[in-house]
């Protein structure tokens, strides 16, 4: 199974000279958060899975942003908010975002490993991951479907999405993140499988995603150890990193839909202060690490309402 190695361990960022990058905020995080050089280095990459030490049921995270603003993003087109800034994507940026997200949907459909915003240990044997395990099973319906089968498969996914959203207030702990991740995977798979005919549904789905993202963010987005310059527990780091990656992926998907519709794309000022670290898995899609970082900083933190 191919796994994004940058997601297995909170390894330090390095500068172009190979040393830990501790001086440039734009290279290590979005704004205001400590650099990742305080995390375990590569010699600590052995996860305690065999001993069964990972327990996601009691993880303490902190939310450093105004999470309620996430679920109200769809209103930005109708009610401007103070400090709101529109950003127009170039065709190259829009094309890159489209191809990257399409690859995420393809990874999910083919199976073998989850997309880069889901940590492999979230769906490991022995973990309680019902929304995610169900999702990664159902999306396989789109793998080599029979003629006309995609519409039937889409209806199956839509029913499961409705169930997740109906029950989302009952999820606790890591289940809140799993519901958010599963709903995002379903939405992207439907969009990239059915194309333009799915756009009206996907616009509504993005509004629901913003509600799920708000719920997940309120439970916490960063480890308290990140703010204390100390090493976080594996469970806390895995959930925090997965949650941030899922949040940024949702913003990218929202941005891509807006660009295709010719609608304005707004910078995600509500995410100010949230740390970011790019995935090497995404970099292997054909863009070098610096280019990916520039795209994320200028694009994934800027999304518009559906």
Residue 237 has pLDDT above 80, yes or no: yes
User: What is the arithmetic mean of pLDDT over 85-89?
Assistant: 81
Reduce the DSSP state of residue 260 to 3 states and report it.
Answer: helix
Strand 265-266 with 222-223, pairing:
unpaired
State which H helix or E strand residue 186 sits in: helix 174-194
Which pLDDT belongs to residue 125?
64
DSSP character for 78? T
pLDDT bracket for residue 5 (50, 70, 90)? very low
Domain boundaries, the chain: 66-300
Which pLDDT belongs to residue 259?
87
Contact 219, 58 (CB under 8 A): no
Burial class (CB in 10 A: 0-12, 13-18, 19+), 162: exposed
Contact 215, 168 (CB under 8 A): yes
In angstroms, rounded to a whole number, what is the distance separating the alpha carbons of residues 252 and 98? 9
Residue 24 has pLDDT above 80, yes or no: no
Contacts 24+ apart (CB under 8 A), 159-165: 160/134, 160/135, 160/186, 161/186, 161/187, 161/205, 161/208, 164/131, 164/212, 165/208, 165/211, 165/212
Report pLDDT digits (tens) over 25-54: 333 333 333 333 333 333 344 444 444 557
Which pLDDT belongs to residue 180?
97
Single out the residue of 238, 231, 241 nearest to residue 55, CA to CA.
Answer: 238
Q: What is the pTM of this model?
A: 0.75
Which pLDDT belongs to residue 288?
37
Which pLDDT belongs to residue 50?
42
Report pLDDT digits (tens) over 240-289: 999 999 999 999 999 999 888 888 888 888 888 787 654 444 333 333 33
Report pLDDT digits (tens) over 151-168: 999 999 999 999 999 999
Length of the chain: 306
């Amino acid at each position: 199974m191919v796994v994004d190695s940058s997601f297995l361990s909170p390894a330090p960022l390095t500068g172009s000279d190979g040393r830990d990058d501790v001086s440039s905020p734009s290279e290590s995080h979005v704004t205001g958060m400590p650099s990742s050089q305080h995390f375990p280095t590569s010699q600590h990459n052995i996860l305690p899975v065999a001993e069964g030490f990972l327990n996601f049921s009691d993880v303490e995270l902190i939310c450093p942003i105004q999470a309620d603003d996430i679920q109200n993003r769809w209103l930005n087109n109708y009610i401007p908010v103070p400090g709101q800034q529109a950003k127009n994507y170039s065709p190259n940026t829009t094309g890159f975002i489209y191809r990257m997200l399409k690859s995420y949907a393809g990874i999910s459909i083919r199976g073998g490993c989850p997309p880069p915003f889901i940590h492999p240990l979230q769906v490991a044997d022995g973990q309680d991951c019902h929304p995610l395990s169900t999702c990664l099973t159902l999306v396989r319906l789109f793998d080599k479907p029979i003629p006309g089968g995609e519409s039937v498969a889409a209806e199956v996914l839509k029913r499961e999405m409705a169930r997740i959203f109906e029950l989302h207030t009952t999820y606790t702990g890591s289940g809140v993140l799993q519901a958010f991740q599963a709903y995002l995977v379903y939405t992207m798979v439907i969009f990239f499988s059915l194309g333009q005919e799915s756009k009206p549904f996907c616009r509504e789905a993005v509004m629901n995603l913003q509600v799920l993202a708000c719920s997940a963010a309120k439970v916490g987005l960063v480890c308290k150890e990140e703010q204390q310059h100390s090493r976080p527990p594996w469970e806390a780091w895995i959930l925090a990193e997965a949650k941030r990656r899922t949040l940024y992926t949702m913003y990218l998907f929202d941005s891509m839909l807006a660009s295709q519709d010719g609608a304005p794309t707004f910078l995600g000022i509500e995410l100010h202060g949230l740390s970011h670290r790019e995935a090497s898995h995404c970099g292997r899609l054909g863009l070098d690490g610096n280019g990916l970082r520039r795209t994320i900083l200028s694009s994934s933190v800027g999304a518009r309402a559906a």
